[in-house]
Amino acid sequence: MSNPKFAWCDGIVPWEDATCHVSSLAFKYGAAVFEGIRAYWDGSNLCIWQLNEHLARLEKGQRFMRFETPFSADHVADAIKQTLNANEFRANVHITATAFLSGPGQPFLCDPASLAITAMARGDFATDGLRVQVSSWRRASDAAQPQRIKSNGNYLNGRLAAVQARVDGYDTALMLGQDGKVSEGPAMCFFMVRNGVVITPDQQSDILESITRDTMITLLREAGHTVQERKVDRSELAMADEAFFCGTAWEVAPIHSIDGLAMPAGSPGPITQTLRSQFDALTQGTDTSHPEWRTYL
């Protein structure tokens, strides 16, 4: 896959010039927050999916990281739109918007900050089922690192689990929290179905405040399903009839098996398949409900 022509690094620049200095606090300490955002091409228009929700979370992340000069939602939205227009995309796109500390110095400094936007054509994440390993790496506690926000430094924890799963012959990992309860995947939220009830770890399970997770809960409840947000024991995973991951990059990704135990209802299971079909229809514009989730260029 070839790189796009342009990126944003405090302004539109050629892709090759969108760089971060090796002495920066972002490079040395992971002092950055980001958002992964999707834009979907419907054949005539490019629609940015849930842009306002992502911008609000990025603002909160910058505030949490105590950036002295945070970038406003309007500024980030304009930068994203300029980047998309400059590259003239006619395909589905994955966007990364990163606010990062770009200067050198001591780790307690909170300025200066820069804004980077990258956008690359990317197809839908399609899989009939992931082979998942319950990782020996535990999810970092929110008491140690702010798991609610998309801080770049948080993702080393998940990367260790993802790499280990691949080395061990699995597709990806499911992580437990410090309390031994189910948390989430390396970069995606977890849902399971048991006896017709949809279950997902609650916010106190050291998970991201996930926009896609909230969307899934909304759609499932609108369809009449009972959704429980609660603590999930590891042993309860063996009782699941079906399961899936979700996230901006992963969309709705069915799980085939966990630690070698296949899902009895199949992969995807019936609830997962219906949810994935509805989500695809929403993002592609054939289902026009929830117009508040769409921003057209």
pLDDT score for 126? 65
Average pLDDT over every residue of 124-148? 91
pLDDT digits (tens, 9 = 90+) for 27-50: 999 999 999 999 999 989 999 999
| pLDDT at residue 125 is higher than 90 | no
pLDDT digits (tens, 9 = 90+) for 67-92: 998 999 999 999 999 999 999 999 99
In the chain, which residues fall in CATH 3.30.470.10?
Answer: 6-121
pLDDT score for 128? 84
Q: What is the DSSP string of the chain?
A: -PPPSEEEESSEEEGGG----TTSHHHHH--EEEEEEEEEE-SS-EEEETHHHHHHHHHHHHHHTT-SSPPPHHHHHHHHHHHHHHHT--S-EEEEEEEEE-S-S-TT----EEEEEEEEE------S-EEEEE-SSPPPPTTTS-TTS-BGGGHHHHHHHHHHHHHTT-SEEE-B-TTSSB---SSSEEEEEETTEEEEE-GGGT----HHHHHHHHHHHHTT--EEEE---GGGGGG-SEEEEEETTTEEEEEEEETTEE-TT-SS-HHHHHHHHHHHHHHHTSS---GGGEEE-
Average pLDDT over every residue of 148-166? 96
In the chain, which residues fall in CATH 3.20.10.10?
Answer: 130-284
Determine the CATH number of domain 6-121.
Answer: 3.30.470.10
pLDDT score for 28? 95
CATH number of 130-284: 3.40.50.1820, 3.30.1330.80, 3.20.10.10, 3.30.470.20? 3.20.10.10
pLDDT digits (tens, 9 = 90+) for 193-203: 999 999 999 99
Indicate the range of 124-128, 265-269, 276-280 predicted with least confidence. 124-128
pTM reported for the whole predicted model: 0.95
pLDDT score for 273? 97
pLDDT score for 35? 98
| pLDDT at residue 1 is higher than 70 | no
